[in-house]
Amino acid sequence: MAVASARGNLIGGEWVDAADGKSFESLVPATGEPLASFPRSGATDVDRAVRAAVEAFADWRLVPAPERGAILFRFADLLRSQKEELTELMTREMGKVRAEAGGDVQEAIDMSMYMGGEGRRLSGQTTPSELRDKFMMSVRMPVGVVGAITPWNFPIAIPAWKICPAIVCGNTVVLKPAEDTPLLAERFIELLDEAGLPPGVVNVVQGYGEEAGDALVRHPDVPVITFTGSRETGIAVTKAAADHLKHVHLELGGKNAIIVMDDADLELAVEGIVWSAFGTSGQRCTAASRIIVQRGVYDELQSKLVAAAERLRLGAGWEEGTDVGPLINRAALEKVHQYTQIGKDEGARLLTGGEEVPGAGFYYRPTVFADVERGMRIAQEEIFGPTTALLPVGSFEEAVATANSVRFGLSSAIFTRDVNLAFRAMRDLEAGITYINAGTTGAEVHLPFGGTKDTGNGHREAGQAALDVFTEWKSIYVDYSGRLQRAQIDTA
């Protein structure tokens, strides 16, 4: 496969190379072959992009919000028209199977439509004053330049989650996409530009996190950082941003659990587990890497799950009939296999999988461990691969305690026919998302997305909650009495 030359960084409406001429290659996970070369940006490139965003902000913040929203509607139309092309590209550069890749693009379409609608809302509040002839309201104000650092596992959806609300609120953006999926990021930005976004409103700098990403986080003229990635990197981002008291939004890891009670529909539960554990090769922050099973159905569920996992067909995402695609790169493959060895060493029982597929590409067989205890590393640490662990429990209370025994709190699920247990799970599971009789994946754009504990720092993506990341509140008081009135002054 010939290595294509990408357009470069988009800065102030112009496609340019890195200042020092350095470059890197994107690989096809299914084959390991090079796909395209991109500029390896550094601090100089980031500074140029930030200056372009600062300049564009002066006018963009004054563009009426409905007009900003209209650009997002056009962007959604362009994404829709290019959905097949983007889906095909994603099967190659990221490795998702077609159905999942198409879903990734659809999320971006949905987010663009939702946030486009916010251009005619962006609601504040009006409240009555304690004084006569006085009006009060609160409004949302843009913050400035947003630094968006996005991962490779949702290379179209997650940039949309961050960029769409940022720009409809009147901010400008510098995007540093993942180095594993730069071509998809480039195509995303091209369509946004085609939708009519003015030059400099969204800029992109390609490259590595420790170079371009770090420079973006530390830049004094970037007051907002939105980052999706690992817990460890999230901590580093927070520390680097602290000197400038930046707004930092973090969407970090997960160690998500599905609880299966004795009264569950086991066929439905297995279907949900397979999709949640092995979809996207387990490379989702919402992937189900723990299955907490009541002992009455433990053996039966174990048997059904192993059979279902072994029926899955591995292959390139663009091939018909593929169920599970490759991992993103060699390092990911090695990490997943290390956790297989850790599980064995800890005394967990390997039921199926646990091995790399020989040949080209970065494939790993869907892996199921049984008889896992809650304190084991494979039950505590995020693996980010097609590995899940079965943990037997005796009661609902033990199931919830086990689910809550990890440092993360992103997604959770329970399969049960008991409505009382379902409502107790909604209340007691320590997670930002809870599903009833469904797996741990499948969030929709009009509800908040994010988690508790070490999954983030309290902010949310999607829904109305996303607007709080990209706006400042301003309270406004209008006194039309014609005289000085002093609030909170006792005049009696």
**169 belongs to the catalytic site:** no
Both structure tokens of 198: 């003015």
Given 93, 186, 211, 251, the catalytic residue:
251
DSSP result, 352-382? E--SBPSSSS--B--EEEES--TTSGGGTS-
The CB density around residue 29, as the number of other CB atoms within 10 Å, is 31
What would the two tokens of residue 24 be?
A: 């890197």
Q: CA-CA distance, 487 to 129, in Å (whole number)?
A: 9
251 is catalytic: yes
Type of residue numbered 132? R
Phi-psi map region of 21: left, alpha, beta (phi>0 left; psi -120 to 50 alpha):
left
The structure tokens 């590393």 sit at 377
Q: Say which of 285, 334, 346, 382 is annotated catalytic.
A: 285
Q: CB neighbours (10 Å) of residue 398?
A: 16
For 458-467, the CB contacts below 8 A with 24+ separation are 459/249, 459/250, 460/432, 461/161, 461/162, 461/249, 461/251, 462/111, 462/114, 462/161, 466/115, 466/161, 466/165, 467/118, 467/122, 467/140, 467/165, 467/169
Q: In what order do the strands lie in the sheet with 256-260?
A: 349-352, 367-370, 387-393, 288-294, 256-260, 411-415, 433-436
Residues noted as catalytic: 251, 285
